[in-house]
Structure 1
């Protein structure tokens, strides 16, 4: 018996090697891109602009932003030009939000409408590769057909910006595990009626992926039981901010906020823009797109508030702007 045991370590290594080789060539679950050419109506383009800039906030990752200013407004003429995320965020490799403009060499100029739709909702690139889910396609799967069509229609209007972004390069084993993330969207997807304020608010919160920033993470996953409770730390550009607790906890969240106060918090930035935004300091540093979201319709903000009132209250006191010396030691 003992003579056979000496072969086990080698056998296990061989099996592991075969499995790794198989995973390295595995393609994510996907379907052919829809063969569609979208009509670019003005209504659809304007809806797409709203979703791109404010609700889904594609602008937060795909625009070149002015990180020296409050809320990091978009630099003039750099909408959709792409962005390489800084190393201090602790991502599993080099993660890049690609150029979305109509440039044929460095942007989406050669992509079909259906390929862009598939990438947004299903997480599959034009060549069949799995996209890193920093773009929250698991949340976007519930985005309605008309809303994703509107985003694509708007993106198609972006002036070409010739900027070759580097490719995303993920560390092992994430580079293999990410292949299991994409899932095809089957059938027609409709939005909930606006008359159902809670359901529509949940729809907007999912599209905004609010849960990602406003929840602590453990080993790359949202910590169970702490959804929307804040505390996630973001070190960027020499500053540190922690996301706020937006659960209805009355002591540490927004449980004592009225609906009007919630709306007023957003509307308070309505007169701020890239030109007059103050400089970022440790006391005001934020990734929250206040400048863009200030122009959201009140009915959408009220729907978001309605939904957040129904999530589980979590006691979690957060110092949103910790002293840098304290943040850097934690």
Structure 2
């Protein structure tokens, strides 16, 4: 009889403890701060060479303009409106995760990042932590930028510091639950120095460039909202634009459906095909003429960087995957 009573008491204790544990675990996850480290106590070098390299990273390789600058989407490629560089709000994403908008990253002290230290800017870029210690939504590609070398991230910050302040307050990002809780697990401190990658390193340097340019992010199809690891660079990710649907191309070296038959000159010519629009106004965009690929940014890539990217892409596993970039129009 006593054994039965003890068993019954034990059962009820376990039963009562389950919701307590679940609630406690939920509260811990809800209120815990993201993993972070104090920002580095650093003032970046503002030499002309460093600023110019930062400009290249911002406007070209990393294409920060793509989300953070005002753009004229009535024109092919969405050219940047110079007076609105860095003002934020250019790209907005609204789905089940909430409404995400790129913030103002000019040095304006009220609406931008003019009160941020250089160390706080570096932490945000590479570790995904805002000035207030909150986790940035990972649409900001800090999971890629955590591999950015110390020299490159400091150059990027140096250029940011030279942007003309723009007074502009885009609507604040609103992240819905449970995404607001889950993104706290994404940021991570870098915690070590990152040396520069040898620019003469061929495909290894190309891999570094592709990481910063986020080639894999767009050129890999999604499965249940996540990139399919078996289809890296094989294209097929679908994007909706104001002019219609566009699908990313297969850039693996597959002979029939990818870039297997391309040599470097063809690759170089294709990337640079928009270079003319760096000095003249691009044509009007429309349902029969639109693109999401940042051609205007990548048209500025140096031949050296293009060659390294080409070597890296050519070293990938060929994947047979035929893609129609513009559904509804002939391939």
Give the TM-score normalised by the residue count of structure 1.
0.92
Q: Structure 1: where are the runs of 5+ without partners?
A: 325-330
**Cα shift at 1:191:** 2.2
3-state secondary structure, aligned to 2:49: helix
Q: 1:91 to 1:81 in 2, by over 3 A?
A: farther
**Cα shift at 1:276:** 1.6
Aligned residues: 323
Q: 1:14 to 1:129 in 2, by over 3 A?
A: same
For the pair 1:79 / 2:85, whether they are aligned, the reply is yes
Match of 2:241 among 236, 251, 257: 236
Match of 1:323 among 310, 322, 328: 328
Q: Residues of 2 paired with 1:202 and 1:73: CA distance?
A: 27
**Cα shift at 1:2:** 7.6
Aligned to 2:3: none
3-state secondary structure, aligned to 2:277: coil
Q: 1:87 to 1:121 in 2, by over 3 A?
A: closer
Q: Residues of 2 paired with 1:248 and 1:157: CA distance?
A: 40
Give the TM-score normalised by the residue count of structure 2.
0.92
3-state secondary structure, aligned to 1:160: coil
Contact kept, 8 Å, 1:283 with 1:321, in 2: the verdict is no
Q: Which protein shows a greater Rg?
A: 2
Aligned to 1:160: 165
Mapping 1:119-198, distance limit 5 Å: 119-198=124-203
Structure with the largest fraction of helix: 2
3-state secondary structure, aligned to 1:241: strand
Match of 2:214 among 205, 209, 234: 209
**Cα shift at 1:9:** 7.0
Q: Residues of 2 paired with 1:115 and 1:322: CA distance?
A: 43
* Cα deviations by residue, 1:211-232 (Å, 9 ceiling, x for unpaired): 1111112233211211111111
Q: Residues of 2 paired with 1:210 and 1:91: CA distance?
A: 25
Q: 1:280 to 1:3 in 2, by over 3 A?
A: farther
